[in-house]
């Protein structure tokens, strides 16, 4: 069995991954808060952990991996967006339901366009309120949490304009001081953690680091009955309750973006370990680094903020976005640039072009058992997707009519192509489907002259072993935006999206 090593944020080092139960490898990844389109930074962890999910299924079997990614559909940001849309006098709850249903589907559609498999379970927070209430009760009973009556304190600013009678409920707060290992995941100092926790307001906190488990709701906002009055859960308790319900008290891998390490993941660990009486919540914690655009932090004020849907609507294929993401190791900051997009598009087009004339390859299913073992080993080495992409590039170059490849027997050529497409599929690129789509595009009539020229020059080169003129013609065609498809017996030229006929006039 392939040995997988993963960098564990908890221990700050790479470790051999040994699942708790090889028959049921379990992974939880924090999903989106659904109130708007996912920007490209939101998409990076989806693609990263999709590759890990594919690798785990490849190693342990599809039926032996359980992947959970949640939707947060109860949150102050959602409430604010609903009020913005319909006003405080409108039906806010109905608008919240509309927003969360719509944006959840948006997310699934956009991530599907990037080639991401859907997880085994995608729980919505509102489906697990009873489990959250039960976990909070356990924490209070064990004296890891306490309750503060809202009416006896100055309410937070967000409540000042609310109906006072609606605030006759209680906040439940986790007492961080009671959990000695708090801060070990992020490794932050107490001062840094206090600074990072200041954004979460609640009356009667015993410490600035204490965080909300439950808070009151006004009648116009979502709320559920609880021992502390009508209210709604804090953000952090949601993932603890859902992961426990679906994966158990302890599971193998917990993932997410680096921005979630503190306070969210730190708080998850505290809640879960204290409520469940365990030493750990997950064996391995993994965090992807953040994303920039053209070397700068993505920001609406800088005009470099865009969503996945923006790119898709501009004609950037999902596989190109995925390619750019995976070209950088997940633990390194990723810089999205227009140059990288163009290079990824050209590379993928060349891959697909070289495969599109192989009918036997395209008309048979992909066998993942034929994956290049160097690529499997790269992914098993802490998801080294950048090396895997480099290896795929080298294989594609070899397949694209290199002299060595053309001298292979036809069965061996087919085998090499099958290994190539299986390896790409493990990374989430369905080259067979893309090649089928390309195969169905009509060829341009005005390229017949150059097709005949290429056929003649290649036949001459096969006899003289001098491919200089073939290489020159091919370079000129590619520069003009023409895709060059060659097999042992045929040459086909197909105009690409950037086809410029004027660049070919000098060849006549």
DSSP 12-40: TEEEE---S-TTSEEEEE---BSSSPPBH
Strand partners of residue 174:
145, 211
Residue of higher predicted confidence among 43 and 220: 43
The reported pLDDT for the residue numbered 199 is 59
What does each C-alpha distance from 461 to 233, 455, 465, 479, 487 come to in angstroms? 72, 10, 5, 21, 14
Backbone torsion region of residue 283, taken as left when φ is above 0, otherwise alpha when ψ lies between -120 and 50, otherwise beta: alpha
How far from chain centre, in Å, is Cα 459?
47
- Mean pLDDT over 427-436 rounds to 94
Across the range 492-501, mean pLDDT stands at 78
CA distance 147 to 199: 19
Check whether 442 has a pLDDT greater than 90: no
pLDDT of residue 485: 82
Mean pLDDT of the chain: 90
According to the model, what pLDDT value does residue 193 have? 82
DSSP strand pairing (5-8 vs 13-16): antiparallel
Across 157-171, 189-203, 390-404, the highest mean pLDDT is recorded for: 390-404
What's the pLDDT score for residue 198?
57
Rounded Cα distance, 106 and 64, in Å: 29
Q: How confident is the model at residue 417 (pLDDT cuts 50, 70, 90)?
A: very high
* Per-residue CA distances from 169 to 4, 63, 88, 157, 209 (Å): 49, 45, 21, 16, 22
Specify the pairing of strand 211-216 against strand 231-233: antiparallel
- At 462, is the pLDDT very low, low, confident or very high (cuts 50, 70, 90)? confident
- What phi-psi label fits residue 234: left (phi over 0), alpha (psi between -120 and 50 degrees) or beta? beta
Contact 47/334 with Cβ under 8 angstroms? no
pLDDT computed for residue 486 by the predictor? 80
Mean pLDDT of 17-21: 98
How does residue 153 score in pLDDT terms, banded at 50, 70 and 90?
Answer: very low
The answer to whether the CB of 380 falls within 8 A of the CB of 372 is no
Confidence of residue 168 (pLDDT cuts 50, 70, 90): low
Three-class HEC string of 389-439: HHHHHHHHHHHCCCHHHHCCCHHHHHHHHHHHHHHHHHCCCCHHHHHHHHH
Task: Say if residue 112 is preceded by a cis peptide, omega within 30 of 0.
Answer: no
- Strand segments, DSSP code E, in 201-301 are 211-216, 231-233, 251-257, 282-288, 291-293, 296-297
Place of tokens 């090889």: 22
Is residue 500 left, alpha or beta, with left meaning phi > 0 and alpha meaning psi from -120 to 50?
Answer: beta
**What's the pLDDT score for residue 363?**
87
Does the pLDDT of residue 283 top 60, yes or no?
yes
Q: Give whole-number Cα distances, 107 to 12, 268, 277, 479, in Å.
A: 32, 24, 35, 37
pTM of the model: 0.85
How high is the pLDDT of residue 164?
40
Structure confidence by residue, pLDDT tens digits, 331-366: 999 999 999 999 999 999 889 888 887 888 988 889
Structure tokens at 5: 């090593």
Higher pLDDT, 406 or 278: 278
Helices (H), 356-384: 359-362, 373-380
**DSSP-derived pairing of the beta strands 231-233 and 170-174:** unpaired
Q: Look at residues 316, 347, 356, 334 and name the one whose alpha carbon lies nearest to residue 113.
A: 316
pLDDT at 166: 42
Give the DSSP letter of residue 263: I
Residues pairing with 172 in the sheet: 147, 214
- What number of CA atoms fall less than 13 Å from residue 447's CA on the CB side? 27
Start-end of H helices in 205-337: 235-247, 266-276, 308-313, 318-326
Q: What is the mean pLDDT of residues 321-332?
A: 98
- For residue 161, the model assigns a pLDDT of 37
Helix axes 410-426, 373-380, angle to 10 degrees: 10
Alpha-carbon distance 432 to 434, whole Å? 5
Where is mean pLDDT largest: 190-194, 333-337, 450-454, 488-492?
333-337
């Amino acid at each position: 069995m392939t040995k997988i090593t993963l960098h564990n944020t908890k221990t700050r080092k790479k470790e051999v991954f040994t699942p708790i139960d090889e028959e049921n490898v379990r992974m939880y990844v924090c999903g989106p808060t659904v109130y708007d389109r996912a920007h490209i930074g939101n998409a990076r962890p989806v693609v990263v952990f999709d590759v890990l999910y594919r690798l785990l299924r490849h190693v342990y079997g599809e039926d032996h991996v359980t992947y959970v990614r949640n939707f947060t559909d109860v949150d102050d940001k959602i409430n604010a967006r609903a009020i913005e849309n319909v006003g405080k006098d409108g039906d806010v709850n109905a608008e919240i339901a509309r927003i969360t249903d719509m944006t959840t589907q948006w997310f699934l559609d956009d991530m599907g366009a990037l080639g991401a498999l859907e997880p085994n379970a995608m729980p919505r927070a509102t489906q697990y309120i009873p489990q959250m209430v039960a976990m909070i009760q356990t924490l209070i009973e064990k004296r890891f949490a306490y309750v503060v009556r809202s009416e006896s304190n100055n309410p937070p600013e967000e409540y000042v304009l609310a109906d006072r009678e609606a605030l006759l409920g209680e906040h439940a707060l986790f007492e961080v001081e009671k959990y000695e290992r708090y801060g070990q995941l992020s490794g932050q100092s107490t001062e840094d953690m206090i600074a990072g926790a200041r954004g979460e307001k609640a009356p009667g906190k015993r410490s600035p680091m204490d965080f909300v488990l439950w808070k009151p709701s006004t009648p116009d906002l979502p709320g559920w009955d609880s021992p502390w009055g009508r209210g709604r859960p804090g953000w952090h308790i949601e993932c603890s309750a859902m992961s426990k319900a679906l994966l158990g008290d302890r599971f193998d891998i917990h993932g997410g973006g680096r921005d979630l390490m503190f306070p969210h993941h730190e708080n998850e660990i505290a809640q879960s370990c204290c409520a469940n009486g365990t030493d750990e919540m997950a064996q391995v914690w993994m965090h992807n680094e953040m994303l920039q655009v053209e070397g700068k932090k993505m920001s609406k004020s800088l005009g470099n903020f865009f969503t996945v849907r923006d790119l898709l609507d501009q004609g950037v294929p999902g596989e190109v976005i995925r390619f750019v993401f995976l070209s950088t190791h997940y633990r390194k900051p990723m810089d999205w640039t227009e140059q990288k997009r163009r290079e990824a598009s050209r590379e993928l087009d060349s891959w697909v072009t070289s495969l599109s004339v192989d009918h036997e390859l395209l008309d048979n299913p992909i066998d993942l058992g034929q994956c290049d073992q160097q690529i499997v080993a790269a992914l098993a080495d802490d998801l080294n997707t950048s090396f895997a992409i480099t290896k795929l590039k080298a294989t594609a170059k070899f397949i694209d009519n290199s002299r060595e490849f053309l001298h292979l027997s036809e069965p061996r050529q087919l085998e090499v192509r099958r290994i190539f497409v299986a390896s790409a599929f493990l990374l989430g690129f369905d080259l067979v489907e893309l090649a089928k789509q390309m195969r169905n595009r009509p060829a341009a009539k005005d390229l017949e002259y150059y097709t005949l020229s290429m056929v003649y020059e290649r036949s001459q080169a096969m006899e003289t072993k001098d491919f200089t003129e073939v290489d020159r013609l091919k370079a000129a065609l590619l520069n003009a935006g023409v895709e060059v498809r060659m097999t042992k017996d045929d040459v086909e030229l197909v105009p690409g999206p950037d086809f410029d006929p004027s660049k070919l006039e000098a060849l006549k």
